[in-house]
Structure 1
Amino acid sequence: MTQAQQHTPQTKPAPHQTKPTPHQAGWNALNIDARDWWASHWAGPIAAIALVALNIAVWIWQFAHHVIRRPQDMTMLRMFGNHLRPGQHDTTGQFLKLLSSMVLVRGPFALVLYTFAVLVIVSAAQAALGVARTLATSLLGAIAGSALGLGLCVIITNLWDAESWYAVQRLPFSLSPLTLFIGALMAASAFESLLWKRRIRLIGYAFVLAGLLFSGNPGDYCTLAAALVGQAAGALMARRQGHAQPSAREQWWHGTDYEVRRLIAAIQLIFAFGPILALVSSSHDGPLSTFGFFLSGLVGDEDLAGVCADNMRASSCVSMAKHYHFAMTGIWTRTILLVVALSILAWGLYRGRRLAAHVSIVLNGLTVALSLIYCVVFPLLDSAIMPIDAELRVALLQLLVATALPSLVLLVAIVMNMDHFSVLTARSRIRRGVGTIGMTLLVTAGGFLTFGMLDRDAYTPHATFGMLLRDLPHRYLPMGLIGSSRLHMHSTTMISMVINQLPGLVFWIVVLVVFLLWFRDAVSLNTADRERASELVERGGESMSFMTTWEDNHYWFSPSGRSAIAYRVSHGVALTVTGPFGDPGEFDTSLREFMRFCERNSWSPAFYAVHDNARETLESLGCSSIQVGTEMLVIPSTWQTRGKKWQDIRTAINKAHRSGMTDVLTTFNEAPWEVREQIIGISEQWAELKSLPEMKFTLGGIEELRDPRVMLLYAIDADGVVQGATSWLPTYRDGKVIGWTLDFMRHRTDSPNGIMEFLIARMAERLHEQCVEEPDQAPQFMSLSAAPLAGIGDNTADPEDVAVLEHALQIVADTLEPAYGFKSLYFFKRKFQPTPSPIYVCYPDAAALPRIGLAVLSAYLPGLKPSQIPDMLKSLRPAPKAKGHGHQ
């Protein structure tokens, strides 16, 4: 693409054919998109608003009547009252209250979460099922799921002894809006593409199972059953309508690597949020509640520790710990930091990072080891003081299984599937990260031990080195359920309380930062790869393929080594620089294999600035496309400037000749030193006049001129002053140049009008003369390249998938127009009566469109700073009209 920002055409662009201004047209298009979205998703906002209004109305009514009871206050004892005396309660009334809990939530925070969930679920379901079937599947899932869930709870609890059954009866029992609508979402997933079907089900079941495993509210079983009922109903409806089997176009894309990574990452993410769910839950009786508390910041105070130490009944100690909420700020912060760190680790697993797999193995192995220490080693040490009875042994065994088994299962799963985590991290980054974590651990641990020995009276009992050393893991590991440990120090001063919290806070902050640096996308530049790519580009490629030889590009090479694709990684997107280059016979295969390469690295591929041939191949592989520009092609063999349409071009040529202007075709390195200095000066002058950074990616600058294969065409007057310059990139086929592509365009601020028209016309004339004199050696085309985001036309993909993004890109282009001149450059090139050729961005995953947009922006404006955004916004103001053909 031409360096749009480097040249503001000196002639007025062609007038717009439509009455609205560009900004008005862009916003009008988005307004139409919004209306279209509302037409097919209106039930979601309506349901969300109704949920909010109903809950607020009930809260106001309760407050006015001083009613503090809520439907969520029901217990299993009140729901299944067969153990109570007849007539003690109203079963029908309790059942109605249970149903009302599907729409009445516990508080403002829960209302915000459920409102967002309802908005997303109902909107997505309506788009796939329609309003009637969304309502039907919601009611079916809620009613059938509640019945199945309640029945399952009764069956499970009746299998227990009387004491356990009575404890279960006391559990708070409620449903939620998720129970009411989850069935519709799962039913709608059957009508989605394979990719979205998997995503919806994975995310939906992950949330449901996380609540069930770590909270244990019996209503969670109803929610899970409602999801299963909805999925079954959706499968039946899809089968009747012929949507049961995914198309072949969808099936090839995701392989085993993707599935394994996604599953293990989801499990790790559930484990990460487990402590939070266990702490905030009102039940605390899920299968993994104990595991959640073990990883939480829940620790006993002196009273709890004393009771556990004196009684030595692990069952009661565990029960007390599970229902004791320690809200100390430092401990909560430490728990949240661990959750964030583990979430980043799950992200690394999802992206296929081998280092993330190794770190997960270490952390889960550490959890297993600590479970053994606190459930086996420490009790054995304490048994020297007080014997351990049979009941305590059973309780400790149960605690060991509950805390160690989940981490052990995940650890084994990762070890068995290590081959699926193939993305490596540079050893230097690993060494620096491990060194930083190790140094932080030594410094913080040393500070804690030193303080404890210097101020032993700050703890009770008085601190000893052995006690401090035994207490040291508590400063870092947010472990709960440690009250059974007899040796437990307690702070008696404010400074000791602060010192207790600092090591863990500092340590986990450092770990979090290291994880971010470890698992972020990073590809090392390889000079040898760039040299190989530079050789391959001479075998074959598209009109813009020479841009792949520029700096900051990374390269994928085909197994045969005869073709390659240049790309840049940003925001999880592998953004290519046009299509494949090298052996044209491998281009189709290279596109497929590059997509698989991106899959193995957990990147979303985006093929940017590709032409129709590549687009057709990619669409056959399941990709969609958006037109992002229009390349202008001139055929040298048919070049001529006769006719009224060519008046401006003829005027520019004649004016330049009359003023003594000459054009020189050479290379930058072969040009005289004074010419090179003038061109550099022109470029720097242009940069100083811009408040925004210079664009990059497919827009070349001075550095790109230095390649000896790039031709430089500049205009110099009779006084030896360079007035303007252009660069031309070669396109090869089997080592022969078959075309030239315009890239660099800059001129002086006071250069004569029409200088760019003169240079481009002279290049066309030179190529035309070559066609006449040496037809066998003459190039086949001269490309004026394309202005980014200008000339956006119709898309080949489903308009519903891309319309909003296309209109948003149009607004961005309109906003940047005063600064970079995309559209004015587009109309300027049309003066040369070129043949338009659309260029596209192709992508396999519509969910990655926002990240693709960010990746494109980052590629073009890598130096954009937040302080420059106001200047970009100022460009919205209309520029003052210039006199004659002056600059904008």
Structure 2
Amino acid sequence: MLGSIGLLLIAAVSVLVYFFPADSLLGPTGNDRGSLGSTILTVAVIAAIADQLRKGRRWAWWVAVAYGTLHVVLTLITLGVAIGVDYETTGAVTVGTALLWAGEVALLYGGRGAFRVPARRKITDGALSGADPGTAVRALLTDRCESDGLVPCLFSTTATVADQAGELGWRSVQIAEDTIVDLAQLEFKGKAWQDIRSAINKASKEGIEFRMVHLAEEPFAVLAQVRAISEEWVGEKGLPEMGFALGGVEDALDPAVRVGLAIDAGGSVHGVTSWLPVYAPGGEIRGWTLDVMRRRPDGFRPVVKFLIASVCQTFKEEGAEIVSLSGAPLARSAGADGTEPIDRLLEGLGAAMEPYYGFRSLHAFKAKLPPRHEPVFLCYRDEADLPRIGIALTKAYLPEASAKDLMALSASTH
């Protein structure tokens, strides 16, 4: 980062000298500032190399050191030959730039151990070229962030992982809260479950039936209704459907995913939820976590409560330990600490995205249930990594969002 900033400083000085010539400590700069074309070319080349230095590229280090050294050496030779000659109005820019390059070369040479990232090349063998995603992910985690100049972060981790990362010098910030229902003691009794019992009773009176299915095996009529409900839901948000940690109908078609449907006697689908398996060590499924949750706007009003209650009952009967209602991104319980700048930034983003995706409304709905809450964290090495992490997460969550969409979202944060 320092090497990149040093190069950008040299580029900035070149621009200032060209457009604002003046008398400097080394003399006037007006006569040897070069042409506009040479200034633009210098700035463009320096900017390109600076970006690669920021990524730790080995070739960029060699280019910067070689060019800087050459510049300093040529300047010294020129000065040596011209000793005793009255420069009058020439030499200030040449000498001044040489001094900046000398400092840059010294910085790069002193930090040469940081520039070990080779030029990107196509991977033709090894774990990353295979078809097994799990193997590829493990290979990436263990071997490639440092050697490829990537910025690592741990996204959506538990408090235990955040504590372990803290012991390694990493920082962490809470980004969500996971809502967990322990199924072993689950009984829909007491005041806390009154809304759930009312939803179940009302569904029974109105002929709404719960079905646990694999969506890909359902008839075309059911699948078409599910798609229509989801598309209508997305259309109301003003932004494309989110991805990454949030799923859609296509993800719900995976055979490993269970889907809960609320269907009336006429075959109309009123709501849908999909559930991803939660694995215990050894590969056994110990629970399920909510992914897709959609309801028909003109359908059975308490359908979500009915679906969640029915799903919990079904999974409990199957012997599952927990059901996670998933984390509401950028939402936290009242009273959660938010004093750090990154916390305030996340609060602002959460408020901005609320009209589009209802993260906090989702969190408020879950708060009506009596489960337990567990914080979810983002772990990162240093604040300098946060801009690149933010860009990566934005691209992951909204891969189909246009520049206009993102500008609209950005404007709503101010």
Shift, 1:264, TM fit: 4.8
1:469-491 deviation line (CA, Å, top 9, x unaligned): xxxxxxxxxxxxxxxxxxxxxxx
Query: Which runs of structure 2 are paired with 1:61-80 in the superposition (5 Å)?
Result: none
Q: 805-814 vs 779-788, which deviates more?
A: 805-814
The structure 2 residue matched to 1:285, chosen from 26, 33, 53, is 26
Query: Which runs of structure 2 are paired with 1:155-170 in the superposition (5 Å)?
Result: none
1:818 corresponds in structure 2 to 355
Shift, 1:846, TM fit: 3.2
Q: Distance in 2 between matches of 1:391 and 1:691?
A: 68
Amino acid at match of 1:686: W
Q: Does the alignment pair 1:738 with 2:286?
A: yes
Q: So what's the TM-score if we normalise by structure 2?
A: 0.79
1:422 corresponds in structure 2 to 116
1:700 corresponds in structure 2 to 247
Amino acid at match of 2:271: G
Alpha-carbon spacing, 1:815–1:368, altered in 2? closer, same or farther (3 Å): closer
SS in 1 for 2:23: coil
More strand by share: 2
The structure 2 residue matched to 1:357, chosen from 33, 49, 61, is 61
Shift, 1:598, TM fit: 4.5
Alpha-carbon spacing, 1:339–1:613, altered in 2? closer, same or farther (3 Å): same
The structure 1 residue matched to 2:298, chosen from 736, 746, 750, is 750
Shift, 1:629, TM fit: 1.6
Shift, 1:265, TM fit: 4.3
Q: Distance in 2 between matches of 1:633 and 1:339?
A: 54
2:252–2:274 CA contact under 8 A, matched in 1? yes
Q: Does the alignment pair 1:779 with 2:320?
A: yes
Shift, 1:607, TM fit: 2.4
2:228 corresponds in structure 1 to 681
2:4–2:54 CA contact under 8 A, matched in 1? yes
Shift, 1:425, TM fit: 3.9
1:67-97 deviation line (CA, Å, top 9, x unaligned): xxxxxxxxxxxxxxxxxxxxxxxxxxxxxxx
Q: Distance in 2 between matches of 1:705 and 1:689?
A: 21
Q: Does the alignment pair 1:759 with 2:307?
A: yes
Query: Which runs of structure 2 are paired with 1:408-447 in the superposition (5 Å)?
Result: 420-427=114-121
2:57–2:115 CA contact under 8 A, matched in 1? yes
Structure 2 segments unaligned to the other structure (5+ residues): 86-90
Alpha-carbon spacing, 1:832–1:601, altered in 2? closer, same or farther (3 Å): same
Q: Distance in 1 between matches of 2:57 and 2:333?
A: 38
Q: Does the alignment pair 1:860 with 2:386?
A: no
The structure 1 residue matched to 2:329, chosen from 784, 788, 798, is 788
Q: Distance in 2 between matches of 1:415 and 1:556?
A: 34
Q: 689-698 vs 628-637, which deviates more?
A: 689-698
Structure 1 segments unaligned to the other structure (5+ residues): 1-261, 287-321, 376-389, 429-525, 537-553, 558-563, 566-592, 771-777, 877-888
Amino acid at match of 1:785: S
Shift, 1:872, TM fit: 5.1
Alpha-carbon spacing, 1:636–1:829, altered in 2? closer, same or farther (3 Å): same
Alpha-carbon spacing, 1:848–1:364, altered in 2? closer, same or farther (3 Å): closer
1:555 corresponds in structure 2 to 137
2:157 corresponds in structure 1 to 610
The structure 2 residue matched to 1:338, chosen from 42, 51, 54, is 42
The structure 2 residue matched to 1:348, chosen from 52, 76, 85, is 52
Query: Which runs of structure 2 are paired with 1:448-847 in the superposition (5 Å)?
Result: 528=129, 531-533=132-134, 555=137, 557=139, 565=141, 598=145, 601-733=148-280, 734-770=282-318, 778-792=319-333, 802=340, 804-847=341-384
Q: Distance in 2 between matches of 1:847 and 1:368?
A: 31
Query: Which runs of structure 2 are paired with 1:60-459 in the superposition (5 Å)?
Result: 264-265=3-4, 268-269=7-8, 271-273=10-12, 275=14, 280=21, 282-283=23-24, 285=26, 324-325=30-31, 331-332=35-36, 334-360=38-64, 363=67, 371=74, 420-427=114-121
Q: Distance in 1 between matches of 2:171 and 2:162?
A: 9
1:668–1:712 CA contact under 8 A, matched in 2? yes
Alpha-carbon spacing, 1:666–1:333, altered in 2? closer, same or farther (3 Å): same
Shift, 1:859, TM fit: 3.5
Give structure 1 regions of 4+ aligned residues with deviation exceeding 6 angstroms. 390-395, 401-419, 873-876
Q: Distance in 1 between matches of 2:45 and 2:407?
A: 34
Q: 728-737 vs 355-364, which deviates more?
A: 355-364
1:692–1:871 CA contact under 8 A, matched in 2? no
Alpha-carbon spacing, 1:855–1:830, altered in 2? closer, same or farther (3 Å): same
2:71–2:101 CA contact under 8 A, matched in 1? yes
Shift, 1:424, TM fit: 3.6
1:798-817 deviation line (CA, Å, top 9, x unaligned): x75x1x43234323323332
Identical-pair percentage? 33
Shift, 1:637, TM fit: 1.3
Q: Distance in 2 between matches of 1:825 and 1:627?
A: 17
Q: Distance in 2 between matches of 1:612 and 1:415?
A: 40
Alpha-carbon spacing, 1:805–1:417, altered in 2? closer, same or farther (3 Å): closer
1:583-629 deviation line (CA, Å, top 9, x unaligned): xxxxxxxxxx68xx645555544322211110111121223322222
Q: Distance in 2 between matches of 1:792 and 1:609?
A: 16
1:628–1:792 CA contact under 8 A, matched in 2? no
Alpha-carbon spacing, 1:359–1:710, altered in 2? closer, same or farther (3 Å): farther
Alpha-carbon spacing, 1:678–1:874, altered in 2? closer, same or farther (3 Å): farther
Shift, 1:823, TM fit: 2.1
Amino acid at match of 1:345: I
2:22–2:30 CA contact under 8 A, matched in 1? no
Shift, 1:657, TM fit: 2.3
Coordinate RMSD, CA, aligned: 4.1
Q: Distance in 2 between matches of 1:630 and 1:823?
A: 11
Alpha-carbon spacing, 1:608–1:338, altered in 2? closer, same or farther (3 Å): same
SS in 2 for 1:628: strand
Alpha-carbon spacing, 1:281–1:646, altered in 2? closer, same or farther (3 Å): same
1:731–1:737 CA contact under 8 A, matched in 2? yes
Q: Distance in 2 between matches of 1:783 and 1:702?
A: 19
Q: Distance in 2 between matches of 1:725 and 1:691?
A: 21
SS in 2 for 1:832: coil
Shift, 1:407, TM fit: 7.0
Q: So what's the TM-score if we normalise by structure 1?
A: 0.39
2:179–2:324 CA contact under 8 A, matched in 1? yes
1:652–1:757 CA contact under 8 A, matched in 2? yes
2:88 corresponds in structure 1 to none
1:156 corresponds in structure 2 to none
Shift, 1:671, TM fit: 2.3
- Larger-Rg structure: 1
Q: Distance in 1 between matches of 2:9 and 2:411?
A: 46
